[in-house]
Amino acid sequence: MAISNLFNKSFLTRTLSGIVLIAILLVTFILGGYVIFGLTLVLSLIGVSEIYKTVGIEKTPLGILGYVAVLAYYGLVLWKGTEFMGMFIIALLIAITALYVFTFPKYKTEQVMMAFFGVIYVAVLMSFLYFIRMTNDGAFTIWLIMISSWGCDTCAYLAGVTMGKHKMAPILSPKKSIEGAFGGVIGAALIGAIYGAAVGSHLDAVSNAPLYFAILCACAGLISMVGDLVASAIKRNYEIKDYGKLIPGHGGVLDRFDSVIFTAPIIYYLIYFLI
């Protein structure tokens, strides 16, 4: 009975926090502009701090440099969009390695690499939520990120439970199957097509929304699995269960947005090249 009550309480907590999270995203995605910019910035700072904790640099000068870099990057995003992204990445690498050599041997090479990786992996990739929302039809196309990440994940779970036989990554994630992966991609494509049919008449730049959205969600859904496995691999390497406790029942920002981080830039560039 105690185990049953614990499970019910855990499930309820996870469900309620999930509803709150979806409500926040719904309002943010609808309003767009500075609202989604602000939320993306906050999520990026929290996500970077979570990944820095895995190597113990979250409160060090190296970690502080990373937080400053996130703020500087979003300042460039607000000012010039993606125009100076390459320059920023090069400047970040130089700044972090300069701190490394001038404070040697204060930091391990692994910590320095994670300081650089954290900003790119979390902040830069996460910023594409804002970039997509600010494009033509962004109020509609931004939802493709959630369809291809969380939608794909749900469909993959259902397909894996009912048909899964062949393990996709047996050591890293024993519960994920090849059949589940196929089910997730197909499911994301179907949801994308249905969504395209529902909103197609409201779009300015898309003439065949069901077809295009199905292609976009299938491709991004496949990549979302990589994002999920990347986050899991890092946690396995550092023997942690969750990145944080910000979202009750879900963990930290990286636990909930691990696939979103990868699908956002994929959706952005697929829209750019295909539509």
Q: Assess contact for 183 and 155: CB atoms under 8 A.
A: yes
Instruction: Indicate whether 40 pLDDT > 60.
Output: yes
Summarize the confidence of residues 218-222 as an average pLDDT: 94
Is residue 48 within 8 A of residue 70, CB to CB? The reply is yes
CB–CB of 229/262 below 8 Å? no
My answer on whether omega of the bond before 105 falls inside 30° of 0, hence cis, is yes
Mean predicted confidence (pLDDT) in 116-145: 95
CA angle, 250 as apex, 6 and 256 as ends, to 5°?
A: 165
What confidence tier does 11 reach under pLDDT thresholds 50, 70, 90?
low
At residue 6, the pLDDT reads 46
- CA 9, distance to chain mean position in Å, is 27
Residue among 123, 109, 259, 265 nearest 184 (CA) = 259
Per the model's pLDDT, the better-predicted residue between 7 and 37 turns out to be 37
Q: pLDDT tens across 12-21, in order? A: 777 788 788 8
Rounded Cα distance, 196 and 188, in Å: 12
From 82, 84, 50, select the one nearest 67 (Cα to Cα).
50
**Residue 80 confidence (pLDDT):** 86
Burial per residue of 166-195, b for 16 or more beta-carbon CB atoms within 10 angstroms, e otherwise: eebbeeebeebbebbbbbbbbbbbbbbbeb
pLDDT of residue 8: 60
End-to-end C-alpha distance for the chain, whole angstroms: 55
pLDDT at residue number 2: 45
Whole-number Å distance between alpha carbons of 128 and 148:
14
Percent of residues, the chain, with pLDDT higher than 90: 66
Q: What percent of the chain has pLDDT over 70?
A: 96
Q: What is the pLDDT of residue 9?
A: 67
**Which pair of tokens denotes residue 122?**
């979390």
Cα–Cα distance, 245 to 108 (Å, whole number):
27
Distances from the Cα of 216 to the Cα of 17, 176, 220, 228, angstroms: 28, 22, 6, 18
pLDDT tens digits for range 146-203: 999 989 989 998 888 888 788 888 888 888 889 999 999 999 999 999 999 999 888 8
Please state, rounded to an integer, the average pLDDT across all residues of the chain. 90
d(CA 173, CA 191): 25
pLDDT tens-digit map of 240-275: 988 988 887 788 999 989 999 999 999 999 988 876
State yes or no: pLDDT of 107 exceeds 60.
yes
